[in-house]
Amino acid sequence: MAYINYRIQTAESGWERREFVRNWWQIYRGDPSWTPPHFKRLLHALDARRNPHLARLDPRLAYVEALPARGRRVSTPHGPDPFMPQPVAMTLEVPLAGVVMLRDPRRRDKTAYLALYAGANDVEATERLLYYAVEQLAADGCRRMLGPVGLSPYAAAGALEDCWDAPPALHAPYNPPYLPELLGRKLRARVDSRLWHLEVGAPPPATGPATLTPLAPARLAGDLLPLLQAATENRAGFAPPDAEEAAFLLRWLGPNLGGWVAQVNERPVGFVLLQADTAVSVRRANGGRRWPWRLWLAARERRPVARGRLLFGATLPDWRGQGIGGQLWAQALRSAQAAGWRQLAIGPAALGSAAAAFLEKRGAQPRQSYALYDWSF
């Protein structure tokens, strides 16, 4: 498809944010593998008045739209000339790429984020949006941009590099196969991670010094925040989540969260966070964009599913190597069996990390690959 009259639109008011989401949504809407976010959750997340975490990141919403054009033969004195197509524009602009630019004040290395990046297979739209981002961010003193990420990098980070034939797990990054090539024209791939998969079987025997109790997820934004920070250690320089970011992350992940806390002498030293993988229902409901589907999805999310997610898990550094991770792993598998999950998607976790070594030792297999891209300017 050819396009003409490219232009960049920005969004600041509530109405413009809704228009941004509507256009952003259309970019991947025709991809049957795309699992959209919950529509209302995304709208609320982009409203800085409702999201203190986002407010401090100075969000800037922008998208590229253009007019589709079709070829038409041009008449000459000697008849139609098939080698001179003349673009004839259709009447409605088409959204081709969208992004939320973020600057985290906790970072001191002049790095900004490209959040929620989505793009059609169009080189000019991609480059126009990236150059616009560079212009805006450089004016604010930034010298590097990193992405794609979510509104928190712990919600999603990286572009999918392979396994496009496999339906994506809930909360796992997704993009069409052409996106890494488009981003790679200007940006350089850096950090590499994998989503790990396991067929749920009998839990292995595990002994250790910890007592396991059910996890109240909201505590990860409170007294259990050090555990979440241990689980989100990273090589990309993302700031450890604070209480505001942790609270946003839990809201973004949505309902059906659960898990376990490991305690030694009543001190929390480890945890796992689990969730049913309802990606199939979310795709069918198009993220609940229409209110009847929103009601259907709310009811559907309470029904049993065949796959689960292990989103985060960690043991505090001073307590590693004592069998506590094995205790939490065995309990996670027992919970998966009790929920009827036949498969468990875990992570993502970076190759070469302690988490990846732990998962590999227990028979989990890495499949989907994700790469973060950066551009220094």
* Cα–Cα dist 47/43, whole Å: 7
pLDDT at 108: 93
- pTM value is 0.91
Q: List, for residues 216-261, the tens digit of each pLDDT value.
A: 999 999 999 999 999 999 999 999 999 999 999 999 999 999 999 9
pLDDT at 191: 83
pLDDT at 162: 96
2-192 with 198-370: one CATH topology?
Answer: yes
Question: What is the topology classification, in CATH, of domain 2-192?
Answer: Aminopeptidase (3.40.630)
Summary mean pLDDT of the chain: 93
pLDDT at 81: 52
Q: List, for residues 82-115, the tens digit of each pLDDT value.
A: 444 455 545 689 999 999 999 999 999 999 999 9
State the CB neighbour count (10 A cutoff) for residue 225.
Answer: 18
Confidence of residue 351 (pLDDT cuts 50, 70, 90): confident
Q: List, for residues 256-298, the tens digit of each pLDDT value.
A: 999 999 999 999 999 999 999 999 999 999 999 999 999 999 9
Sketch the domain layout of the chain as residue ranges: 2-192, 198-370
pLDDT at 83: 47
* Cα–Cα dist 363/353, whole Å: 16
* Cα–Cα dist 356/7, whole Å: 43
Q: What percent of the chain has pLDDT over 70?
A: 94
Q: What percent of the chain has pLDDT over 90?
A: 89
Residue 10 pLDDT greater than 80, yes or no: yes
Confidence of residue 76 (pLDDT cuts 50, 70, 90): low
pLDDT at 77: 53
CATH class assigned to 198-370: alpha beta
Cα 155-156-157 angle, rounded to 5 deg: 135
**How distant is the alpha carbon of residue 248 from its chain centre?**
14
Q: What's the average model confidence in pLDDT over 154-178?
A: 96
* Cα–Cα dist 236/230, whole Å: 15
Higher pLDDT, 75 or 313: 313
- Three-state SS sequence of the chain: CEEEEEEEEEECCHHHHHHHHHHHHHHHCCCCCCCCCCHHHHHHHCCCCCCHHHHCCCCEEEEEEEEEEECCCEEECCEEECCCCCCEECCCCEEEEEEEEEECCCCCCCEEEEEEEEECCCHHHHHHHHHHHHHHHHHCCCCEEEEEECCCCCCCECEECCCCCCCCCCCCCCCCCCHHHHHHCCCEEEEEEEEEEEECCCCCCCCCCCEEEECCHHHHHCCCHHHHHHHCCCCCCCCCCCHHHHHHHHHHHCCCEEEEEEEECCEEEEEEEEEECCHHHHHHCHHHCCHHHHHHHHHHCCCCCCEEEEEEEEECHHHCCCCHHHHHHHHHHHHHHHHCCCEEEEEEEECCCHHHHHHHHCCCEEEEEEEEEEEEC
